[in-house]
Structure 1
Amino acid sequence: MTRPDPHPPETPATRFLRQHQLAFSTHLYTYEDHGGTKVSSRELNVPEHAVVKTLVMEDESRHPLIVLMHGDRKVSTKELARQTSHKQISPCDPAVAQRHTGYLVGGTSPFGTRKQLPIFMERSILDLSLIYINGGKRGFLVGVHPHDILRVLKPTLVNVALE
C-alpha cells in the first residue's frame, strides 16, 4: 500500500467544480481495491452515510445513467426503474461505465463526465450538510454541499435506498 501524494490531483471533476464556482474541499486517502465507502469513510474519519457513491447503471435500452447513493445504502434497481418509468435498470459493466464517464470504476465522479448522463440522486442526501464524493481519481474525494450538486447537476431526486 502506497501513501497518497499529499497534493490533490487536477481531474476533469475538479476542473468542472472550479468552472462552476462550487466550493469544495479535497481529501486524499489510500485506496484499497474493493474497499468502497467503508475504507474511504474510515480513512477520512467521517460517517459512511456522508460518503456518496457515484454508480453508473443502464436501462433496458443500454442507455447509461448515474445514481448518487449514500455509502451505507444499496440502490433498489427495481424501485429506480419504477420511479424513472423504465422496464429495468442494472449496473453497467465497468469497462462500459469507463467509456461513458471517462473515469475508472472506484474513481467515478458525477462531475466532468465524458458524456452528459442523466443523474438520479437519493433524496435524503439533501438532509446532510456536507457530503464526500469522488473527485475523479481512486483515493480522492471532494467535500461538497449537496444543494450545490442539486443546483449544478440538476439531478432527478428519487427514493430508492435499501438498508
Structure 2
Amino acid sequence: MPKTRHTSETPATHWLRQQKIPFGEHPYDYIDHGGAREAARQLGIPLHQVAKTLIMEDEQARPLVVLMHGDREVSTKNLARQTGAKKITPCAPDTAQRHSGYQVGGTSPFATRKHMPVWVEASLLDYATVYLNGGRRGYLISVTPDILTGPLSAKAVSVALGAED
C-alpha cells in the first residue's frame, strides 16, 4: 500500500465532493512519459483497470473525452463510426489542455473547462472500481463505474485496440 500523502483539491475532486460522490485518493510519484503504466505499477493495481483520459476532436474540431484502459489504444475509426462523426483525431497537447483545463498527464474527465461529451470503453464498466486521473499529475482517484455513466453522462463504446488479457 502506498504511504498516505496530503492531497490538495483539484477541480475534479471539488466537483466530486459537491456532487457528494465518494472517491478514493491514490497519489504516486509522477514520472514523465510513465503514464497509466507507471501509476498502476506504483500503486499495485491492474493496468487494465486504470482509465486513461484522452482529449480528441472530430472533423469540425469539436472536442470530446475518451476513457480507455491503460493498456489499450483507441481505434479512432471505430470511435468515429460509433459516435456519428466522420473523423476523430487526438488533440495536440496544448489544444487538449485548452479544452480540458488540465495539464496533459493530469487530465481528469470531471470538471473540464469546456463541456465535452464523454465516451467510455464499455469493458471498463465491468469493474467494481475504476482508477482515473484526479486532476493533476501523480494523482489517481478511484470511483465506481456508475459514476461515469450517471453523473458524468459517459456513453459506452467498444473501440479498444490491443491484445485481450
TM tier relative to shorter chain: over 0.9
Which residue does the alignment assign to 1:30? 29
Unaligned regions of 5+ residues in structure 1, if any?
A: none
Answer yes or no: is the 8 Å Cα contact 1:8–1:27 preserved in 2.
Answer: no
Pair 1:10-2:9 in alignment: yes
Measure, in 1, the Cα distance between the counterparts of 2:32 and 2:8: 19
Residue-by-residue CA offset, 1:37-79 (whole Å, 9 max, x unaligned): 1100001000001110100000011110000011011100000
Give aligned-pair identity as a percent: 54
Shift of 1:87: 1.1
Measure, in 2, the Cα distance between the counterparts of 1:68 and 1:129: 16
Answer yes or no: is the 8 Å Cα contact 1:26–1:143 preserved in 2.
Answer: yes
Unaligned regions of 5+ residues in structure 2, if any?
A: none
Measure, in 2, the Cα distance between the counterparts of 1:99 and 1:38: 25
Answer yes or no: is the 8 Å Cα contact 1:56–1:91 preserved in 2.
Answer: yes
Shift of 1:115: 1.1
Answer yes or no: is the 8 Å Cα contact 1:56–1:66 preserved in 2.
Answer: yes
Which residue does the alignment assign to 1:106? 105
Measure, in 2, the Cα distance between the counterparts of 1:70 and 1:146: 13
Residue type at the aligned position of 2:42: E
Which residue does the alignment assign to 1:137? 136
Residue type at the aligned position of 2:13: T
Which residue does the alignment assign to 1:152? 151
Residue type at the aligned position of 1:33: D
What is the TM-score of this pair, normalised by structure 1? Answer: 0.95
Answer yes or no: is the 8 Å Cα contact 1:128–1:146 preserved in 2.
Answer: yes
CA RMSD of superposed structures (Å): 1.2
Which residue does the alignment assign to 2:46? 47
What is the TM-score of this pair, normalised by structure 2? Answer: 0.94
Which residue does the alignment assign to 1:89? 88
Residue correspondences, number: 160
Pair 1:70-2:77 in alignment: no
Residue type at the aligned position of 1:73: R
Deviation >4 Å, runs of 4+: none
Shift of 1:5: 8.8
